[in-house]
Chain A
Amino acid sequence: EAEVAQSPRYKITEKSQAVAFWCDPISGHATLYWYRQILGQGPELLVQFQDESVVDDSQLPKDRFSAERLKGVDSTLKIQPAELGDSAMYLCASSGRLGQGRFEQFFGPGTRLTVL
């Protein structure tokens, strides 16, 4: 069964260090999402890609966060420098091309980040 892959599953870092997370969406899915989920809360959308283009990054803290999907397939989310408040689960999701078919997001297992 096709799945969204994420790595690493867990990351512990010290504040002011740089961290990067990787996501490989389900093959053929044009749309990719990065979410942040703080413990006890629902996921919050950080950035949405359609192919290699950013569709929505209105909630991405651009002073320290960056995301890219250069070839329209896998994606990297980077935080530099990490702050204590960045500790959270970072979830990647993918879906089919916007406007085609029923909308359904498939989530990966997430990367749990702890900033010390």
Chain B
Amino acid sequence: TQLLEQSPQFLSIQEGENLTVYCNSSSVFSSLQWYRQEPGEGPVLLVTVVTGGEVKKLKRLTFQFGDARKDSSLHITAAQPGDTGLYLCAEKSGTYKYIFGTGTRLKVLA
């Protein structure tokens, strides 16, 4: 079974700061998704990355897929309180099943 590790587990920063969270696997990803989950809500898909070395941008969020497809990162520029939430990565396992990591809980203080 692939082990999906996310780091850091918790992160508390001031508004305007930059941050990076990481997702690592013991094996090669076929594809990877990033989600954000706000308290009391279900996760919302942010991006899917498929190709090694791929970089995708979503406003202030930059997603990178490692060249070897064993790791991924999410970088947030100038964090805002609205970015607060649980950031989850999920790797494809089987044909149409994704396994979730344990998440990084981010709190952005105003």
Contacts and interface: CB of A to CB of B under 8 A. Distances in A.
Interface string A92-116: 0101001100111111111010000
B100 A107 contact: no
A94 to B, nearest CB: 11
Contacts of A99: 95-96
B43 interface: yes
A31 interface: yes
B42 A109 contact: yes
B97 interface: yes
What size tier do the contact residues of chain B reach? 20 to 34
A104 B105 CA distance: 23
A45 interface: yes
Interface string B69-110: 000000000000000000010100011111111110100000
B86 to A, nearest CB: 8
A43 interface: yes
B40 A31 contact: no
A42 interface: yes
Interface string B36-57: 0000111111001000000000
B42 A45 contact: no
Nearest to A35: B100
Interface of B: 4, 40-45, 48, 88, 90, 94-103, 105
15 contacts: A4-B42, A41-B102, A42-B90, A42-B100, A43-B100, A56-B94, A93-B42, A95-B96, A98-B96, A102-B48, A104-B45, A104-B48, A107-B43, A109-B41, A110-B40
